[in-house]
Structure 1
Amino acid sequence: MTVDPEPVPSPRRVAVVGAGPAGLYAAEELVRQDRTEVRVDLFDRLPTPYGLVRYGVAPDHQKIKSIIRQLRRILDHPAIRFLGGVEFGTDVTRRDLLAHYDAVLYAAGASVGRRLGVPGEELPGCCSATDFVAWYSGHPDVTRPPLALDAERVAVVGAGNVALDVARVLTRSPAELERTDMPEPVLAALRGSAVREVVLLARRGPEHARFTAKELRELGALDGVEVAVDPAVLPASDAGAAVGVGGRGLDLVRAVQANLRVLGEFAARGKRGAPAPRRIELRFLARRTACWGSGGSPVWRSSAPSALRTAGRPAPAHTRPCGSARCCTPSATAARRWTAFPSTPSAGWWPTTRAGSRRRTAPSAPASTSAAGSAAGPPA
């Protein structure tokens, strides 16, 4: 008597929308698990992968950008395929993907700058740091400077590492930037820049800032740049750090204390010797009210990139996986809306994980997610 061998199950097929670090790490987890064979297609609107690492990390941070070598090894896996130049909602819809894949995972990220919501924000010379960072990183969507570099004084609204990146790029000497992978047209524009002073405006006090001490220290190491902080705004003791984090953990208290120590060093320096050719001022407790213009240019601070957090790019209504008008990838607070849709998991760096850090929050998917469930989910 002969016994027919059991049929070999076909590999599960998963589509991942977004080929940044979150999407790549999610794909790697899917093909490495040993419960069922999975093949992954990574879709991205851009012709190249790596997302935020390629187009969001400052060019002078080559150590962070070196994570691309690890991400490239993921793309070399025979079960993972990259499909670039495919825009979700235009070239392919959610209905298309669900018709050809067992599951769809969204890792498209947040690519749109948030607005300040103040009068005059639309004036020439005011732009989102999202656009400014994309420009100096060589993003194909932003080929020209989003603001003119003919002003001597620039304001950057924000109190995080992106604000520090913008300030550092505007004040670092072009000779130093030539050693990075910054595109030549950007270098040419920065060589002709008239910017001599950058003022970082933070709404709250220094104990609430979300810089990292490492990035702060980089400002103090810039050649020919004076860093100024008003000592009157610094807490009198380390106890101020606990106030800044609201009892949210010892690690965060230590991080704030480290920031305050660096800011204290800047404040203690004062003006020593001849003035530096360029200057960065960290100004706290600054209220945003309006941007006034005259003759087509803002009067106050001359130029103002906003370094607030980003938001998701809206997807066409018929492709939104969760019926939201806001974006096609949810924030952490909105993740609960996705749990009812087994074929709609998501991956991302929620809420504050640095680009390239390993898997603590990526991939992230509802507990009910199943690799097989293409018929589930909200109406397409």
Structure 2
Amino acid sequence: MRHIAIIGSGPAGYYTAEAAQKHFGDDVRVDIFDLMPVPYGLIRTGVAPDHQSIKGVSRRYEKTALTENVRFVGNVAVGRDITIAQLQELYDAVVLATGAPEDRELGIPGEDLANAFGSAAFVGWYNGHPKFAELNPDLSGSTAVVIGMGNVALDVARMLSKTDCEFEGSDIVSHALEALCQSKIERIVLLGRRGPHQIMMTPKELGELAHLECAAPHVAQGDLPDEAEDALLEPGLRKSVTILRQFAATPEHIRAEKRIAIEFAFFAQPKALLGDGKVEAIEIEHTELVKGRAVGTGETARLPADLVISCIGYRTTPIPGVPFDQRAGRFANDEGRILPGLYCVGWAKRGPSGTIGTNKPDGFTVIDKIAEDIASGTLGSAGKKGRAGFDAYAAEKGLDVVTFKDWKKIEEAEAKAAREGAPREKFVDIEAMIKAAN
């Protein structure tokens, strides 16, 4: 019998567990650890609350979680409750599937001003992550600046633009829904260092901006390259740029009918956030493309900003004793191998790139690596205590472990507490989760 510990219960973690089952069959036991008492990672706290169809992938993970040889071990913090070294003593292989939950810093003056947030914090706030439930952004100003040209930036802009009715069917938490419905924001600026041909927005998500009840996207015709150049783009990006061209062609009187303007500001990089204690403006430098890179022109301007949300990417949280690539913001690894018996997968392996589905081949690849290392003798012979060893340790330390059965009680309580038309009302407090589980 082989024992595998997976740290992180998001897509990368569950796809890895599924791969282990398929490769080793009944000869494996997999324990999936998570800091939170609830599973699914960014499916729960990162995917936009109005994208319920995407969140539906968790049903696949539940099938894996309900099998005999896979177990959810929630409310256990690796580093606080148990170390990586201790896990390696108990399990044949330890796989880090911790994702990239921390914001990349802008690295400019003023980013610590009040009402300036990273997307991990802001998205966590409206998605009910306990760490960010008390964020309380001030939405009383007129202008929000969203830094970034990816799908997360689109999510944030869309959340800031929607009406109460447009949130029907979503699982946005009540404290965020109330605040957003009282928002005074009238202008949302999406700020990008490069141009339309370099955006990271997918067509489906970009196209959603055209169907908002009270908001309209604005793109300046002068920012768009010659249409003939679109032919050189890969198909998905070409579709996205076509949508930008449609936004630019929308008659002004049609856009004027909407209360909120969502403006695309290309060729502008942030230089500083300005304000007295709280952000009031952002200093930008106009850029130009040189061999695909954004290069500052020296021409600067000030853009009013009552709220700033930086959506420029994420970083993995370092773990003591685990080699870390500071520049890339992920664990240092060679195709998923970190150290003998220690592996990584998903964003913890490759950085914050790809879709949810990208984690599936990643999970199967790392299990292949583990199998290779077993065959070569790198991991030694079977015989580690695995699950039984951890249970004895947890009992000795008095850990309050949350099982998948406990999670189902939490899920049931959230469904019962849901407002009309919503699938759930998430607990935003860990103690409340534990109480519901018990």
Q: How would you bin the TM-score normalised by the shorter chain?
A: 0.7 to 0.9
Residues 66 and 77 of structure 1: is their aligned pair in 2 closer, same or farther, counting only changes over 3 Å?
same
Q: 1-side partners of 2:132 and 2:338: how far apart?
A: 37
What do residues 300-332 of structure 1 show as CA deviations (whole Å, max 9, x unaligned)? Answer: 3121100011001122x3xx333x37499946x
Are 2:355 and 1:354 equivalent residues in the alignment?
yes
Q: Give how far 1:40 is off.
A: 0.3
Corresponding residue number in structure 1 for 2:147: 157
Read off the aligned partner of 2:274 and give its amino acid letter. Answer: W
State yes or no: 1:306 paired with 2:310: yes
Give 1:356 shift: 4.4
CA distance in 1, matches of 2:130, 2:63: 24
Report Cα offsets for 1:32-66 as digits up to 9, x if no partner. 22477100000000110100111100000011111
Deviation at 1:144, TM superposition (A): 2.1
Which of 41, 45, 49 lines up with 1:59 in the alignment? 49
Runs of at least 4 residues off by over 6 Å: none
Find 2:278's aligned residue among 293, 296, 305: 296
Map 1:109-120; keep pairs closer than 5 Å.
Answer: 109-120=99-110
Q: CA deviation at 1:186?
A: 1.4
AA aligned to 2:322 is P
The correspondence for 2:245, drawn from 264, 270, 277, is 264
Q: Is 2:366 the counterpart of 1:365?
A: yes
1-side partners of 2:62 and 2:179: how far apart?
31
Per-residue deviation, residues 192-220 of structure 1 (Å, max 9, x unmatched): 21112110000000100000011111001
Contact 1:312/1:327, CA 8 A, preserved across alignment: no
- 1:213-269 per-position Cα deviation (integer Å, ceiling 9, x unaligned): 111110011112111001111111242463xxxxxxxxx611221111100000000
Distance 2:62 2:97 in 1: 17
Measure the CA separation in 2 of the matches of 1:215 and 1:147: 24
Distance 1:33 1:366 in 2: 8
Residue number in structure 2 paired with 1:132? 122
Identity %: 34
Tell whether 2:324 aligns with 1:343. Answer: no
After the TM superposition, which residues 248-263 of structure 1 pair with which residues of structure 2 at under 5 Å, given as runs?
253-263=234-244
Q: How many residues align?
A: 351
Cα distance in 2, alignment partners of residues 186 and 136 from structure 1? 5
Question: Take 1:24 and 1:140, find their aligned partners in 2: how far apart are those partners?
Answer: 22
Select the residue among 126, 137, 148 that pairs with 1:147.
137
Change (3 A) 1:185 1:194: same
Range moving further from structure 2, 360-369 or 180-189: 360-369
Contact kept? 1:203, 1:284, Cα under 8 Å: yes
Q: Distance in 1 between matches of 2:4 and 2:334?
A: 22
Asked if the contact 2:279/2:308 (under 8 Å) is kept, the reply is: no
1:92 paired residue among 64, 82, 89? 82
CA RMSD of aligned residues (A): 2.4
1:77-88 equivalences under 5 Å are: 77-88=67-78
* 1:248 aligned residue: none
Is 1:174 aligned to 2:175, yes or no? no
Alpha-carbon distance, 1:373 to partner: 5.0
Equivalent of 1:236, from 211, 221, 226? 226
Secondary structure, in 3 states, of the residue corresponding to 1:78? coil
Cα distance in 1 for residues equivalent to 2:137 and 2:145: 12
**Aligned-partner Cα distance in 2 for 1:141–1:66:** 24
- Are the aligned partners of 2:163 and 2:213 in contact in 1 as well (CA < 8 Å)? yes
Deviation at 1:74, TM superposition (A): 1.1
Unaligned runs of 5+ in 1: 1-10, 243-251
User: For the Cα contact (< 8 Å) 2:315–2:330, is it kept in 1?
Assistant: no
Uncovered stretches (5+) of structure 2, i.e. residues with no partner: 282-303, 382-438
SS of equivalent residue, structure 1 residue 294: coil
Matches within 5 A, 1:6-45: 11-34=1-24, 37-45=27-35
CA displacement, residues 334-358 of structure 1 (integer Å, 9 cap, x when unaligned): 4328647231121105463212456
Q: Secondary structure at the match of 2:32?
A: strand
CA deviation after TM superposition for structure 1 residue 139, in Å: 0.7
Q: CA deviation at 1:152?
A: 1.2
1:335 aligned counterpart, secondary structure: coil
* C-alpha distance 327-265 of structure 1, shift in aligned 2 (>3 A): closer
CA distance in 1, matches of 2:165, 2:42: 25
Matching residue's letter, 1:259:
S
Following the alignment from structure 1 to structure 2, what is the Cα–Cα distance between the partners of residues 160 and 95? 37
**2:20–2:28 CA contact under 8 A, matched in 1:** yes
Q: Higher strand share goes to which structure?
A: 2
Deviates more, 1:193-202 or 1:144-153: 144-153
Give the number of the structure whose residues are more often helix, by fraction.
Answer: 2
Q: Deviations for 1:97-149, whole angstroms, at most 9, x for unmatched residues?
A: 01111111110110000111111111111110110001111111111235211
SS at match of 2:361: coil
Which of 6, 13, 36 aligns to 1:46? It is 36
